[in-house]
Amino acid sequence: MKTLNLNKLTILLGLFLVSAFFTSSANAACVVNGDGAIVTSYANGDGRPVTDTVGDEDNEAGVQVDSCLVTPTEYKLVFYKYGICKADPSLGDLSSCEFLFKAAAGVEHDIELNVSEILPIPEFAIEPGIYPYSYVELSNKLGMKWSATMDAATTGQNASGTAGDGTSCWTSGRGPTSAAYQTDAGALVTTVHGNTLTDGLVPIQCAGTMGTPLFNYEILTRFSDGLCSAALGANGDKSTFELEGTGQGRGIPTVSLLTTADAFATTCQTAAKIAWTTALSTSLTVTEDSKFEMMMLATDSNTMLWDSGVNNDIYKIESGAPRIMLTVTD
């Protein structure tokens, strides 16, 4: 007998530390002072204003870098499918999956930090059993809002591209942007979402007083390094990352890019969705009384970048897709 749930999928944007897999090489949260303002310093005389407090194979902890991680206050996502599977679905075989929802047109949802809501989906039924995989399809066009105070005057640009200075900065709604363009010169890339991407757009506005953040959008056009002039890797640029997460959501994620028809994308221009499989460390056990909660882990999932000059100019903010975890309780 299947577990029947009447609109009982709770969704929460949570404060959990995660890695920004789909961004550039930033590897530590932005350092803030006692007032919560992001600290920048050009004491080294170069264009690296923030401190890497973690360190990795490229940098020792404590060195100055040109980027750091920030937490969005709100995400706008479009979900197409969410399921749990008895066999690995990462190569496109979903026959072993039970779905909490499937929506061909997508379910758009705004997710606010630390706000728990019921996702507006039809009733669903899940067959009791053991499920070692979770599977999500969502749009590769990700919306995010962000704002912060800086410890020194910082230069951004408003939605019209006019530069402005101040210690209050926020997402301006300019864009969308992407981490991968057609050429090194930032040539245009037209996506399936009807957006034309070009390099050099600064999607952060700064002023003396805080403005109202608007949604910025980033379209994830590839996961591997490279330009959009090169074809995507096999199986939609399939990429597998390190073990991550906590509790029932802990596992190894694998992501691929899909077309609008759910085939593996072969170019940036045809990439429309992200297929996200997690090989769970501990399988989910579903009974007739199970309840489901979807957690979006978004702390430090966006990357703030400064340009290479000694000028406190923000270059852009890049989105890392939030980690998506399912919790099953009785």
Q: Which conformational region is residue 3 in: left (phi greater than 0), alpha (psi within -120 to 50 degrees), or beta?
A: beta
Cα 143 to chain center, whole Å?
9
Where is average pLDDT lowest: 57-71, 82-96, 216-230?
Answer: 57-71
**Rounded distance, CA 94 to CA 203, Å?**
38
For residue 57, name the pLDDT band (cuts at 50, 70, 90). low
- In 3D space, the residue among 98, 102, 137, 116 whose CA is nearest the CA of residue 285 turns out to be 98
For residue 181, the model assigns a pLDDT of: 65
**Rounded distance, CA 168 to CA 156, Å?**
10
**Rounded distance, CA 270 to CA 197, Å?**
14
**Rounded distance, CA 302 to CA 7, Å?**
30
- How confident is the model over 122-144, as a mean pLDDT? 90
Residues 6 or more apart whose CB falls under 8 angstroms from that of 302 comprise 20, 23, 69, 70, 71, 72, 144, 146, 317, 318, 319, 320
- How confident is the model over 42-53, as a mean pLDDT? 76
- How confident is the model over 213-226, as a mean pLDDT? 89
Token representation of residue 116:
């728990």
- In 3D space, the residue among 134, 129, 165, 132 whose CA is nearest the CA of residue 150 turns out to be 165
pLDDT tops 50 at residue 20: no
pLDDT tops 90 at residue 190: no
Query: Is residue 248 a contact partner of residue 327, using CB atoms and an 8 Å limit?
Result: yes
Where is average pLDDT lowest: 7-16, 53-62, 119-128, 278-287?
Answer: 7-16
Q: Is the peptide bond before 120 cis (omega within 30 degrees of 0)?
A: no
pLDDT tops 70 at residue 60: no
**Rounded distance, CA 28 to CA 150, Å?**
17
Query: Is residue 81 a contact partner of residue 115, using CB atoms and an 8 Å limit?
Result: no
Cα 273 to chain center, whole Å?
13
| pLDDT higher at 90 or 24 | 90
Where is average pLDDT lowest: 17-21, 118-122, 148-152, 317-321?
Answer: 17-21
- In 3D space, the residue among 277, 179, 176 whose CA is nearest the CA of residue 222 turns out to be 179
Which amino acid belongs to residue 32? V
For residue 266, the model assigns a pLDDT of: 95
- How confident is the model over 289-307, as a mean pLDDT? 80
**Rounded distance, CA 220 to CA 23, Å?**
9
For residue 25, name the pLDDT band (cuts at 50, 70, 90). very low
Domain-wise residue ranges, the chain: 3-329
R_g over Cα of the chain: 20
Task: For the beta carbon of residue 78, count every other beta carbon within 10 angstroms.
Answer: 19
| pLDDT higher at 177 or 34 | 34
- The beta strand positions in 66-146, using DSSP E, are 67-70, 74-85, 97-112, 116-118, 124-126, 129-139, 141-145
For residue 85, the model assigns a pLDDT of: 97
pLDDT tops 60 at residue 4: no
Residue pLDDT, tens place only, 263-288: 999 998 899 999 999 999 999 999 88
- In 3D space, the residue among 109, 58, 160, 154 whose CA is nearest the CA of residue 296 turns out to be 109
Torsion of CA 287, 106, 317, 146, to 10 degrees: -70
pLDDT tops 70 at residue 102: yes
Edge-to-edge strand ranges of the sheet holding 291-299: 116-118, 9-17, 291-299, 323-329
For residue 26, the model assigns a pLDDT of: 42
- How confident is the model over 196-212, as a mean pLDDT? 86
For residue 319, the model assigns a pLDDT of: 76
Query: Is residue 66 a contact partner of residue 40, using CB atoms and an 8 Å limit?
Result: no
What's the pTM?
Answer: 0.84
